[in-house]
Structures are given as C-alpha cells and as structure tokens.
Amino acid sequence: MSETQESKVYTAAEVAKHTDRDDLWLVVRGKVYDVTKFVDEHPGGEEVLVDVGGKDATSEFEDVGHSEDAEEILKGLLIGSTDPAEFAHKEAPARSGGFVEEDSSSSSLIYLIIAALVAAGAFFYLQTAK
C-alpha cells in the first residue's frame, strides 16, 4: 500500500457517489476499495458488488467467508480509508487456517450428493460389466 493510499481519507458522502458498475467503490473494515475493474471477474456476479456499492460492505464480505486469495485481490483495489467519524468500523473475525466453517445442513447435503453419485456410478459400472 502506498503512502497516498494510506493517507487518503474518504467521507461517507464521497464513497456514496460511486455506485455505478463503471465507477464502483465499497468499504470493508474501514478501508475504501475501487472495485470497478473487478466487477466482471467477481465469482458471485456483478450484482453482488453493485448492491453494496457506495456503502460499508463489511458484513456482506465477512458473511460470505472469502478466501485468502480474495483478501489479496482486495488489497490490490485499495484506494484509501474511511473517515472514522462517519463509518462504524467493524472488526474482522479471526480466521482459522483459511477454512470456512459450513453449517451442518449444507455439509450433510454435500455428503448426501457425493454418496448418491458414487452409488449411481457403481450401478452403471456393474450394468456395463455384465
């Protein structure tokens, strides 16, 4: 991060002006990011970014449980920080080795799908082996 990026402080009004797909800023953990160039590459689609454009997107960013790669991409989009008087800074939760914890219902569904695929594969293999 350059000295200019570290020292540039944006107000909520300044950030709020950048809500268009072609000029899109957002705030995560008190830092301001220009995500305009990343809109087309975002794995969740452009709508996800546009919906939080011009706002503090910390909760949304943390709720998804982004990878360490996503954190690195974010660093490259940094343009400054927020005015502490206007934004409530949200602390990032502690990371546990880069793994995202899933709730048990989604984990169970994944295991069920894998088991069904294995069973179907075995069935078709045995049918063709006759």
Task: Determine the pLDDT at residue 94.
Answer: 47
Averaged pLDDT, groups of 10, the chain, 130 residues long: 67 92 92 90 81 89 83 90 73 48 65 85 81
Contact between 26 and 49 (Cβ < 8 Å): yes
CATH architecture of the domain 3-82 equals Roll (3.10)
Measured CA to CA in angstroms, residue 91 lies from 14, 33, 113 at distances of: 22, 17, 36
pTM above 0.85, yes or no: no
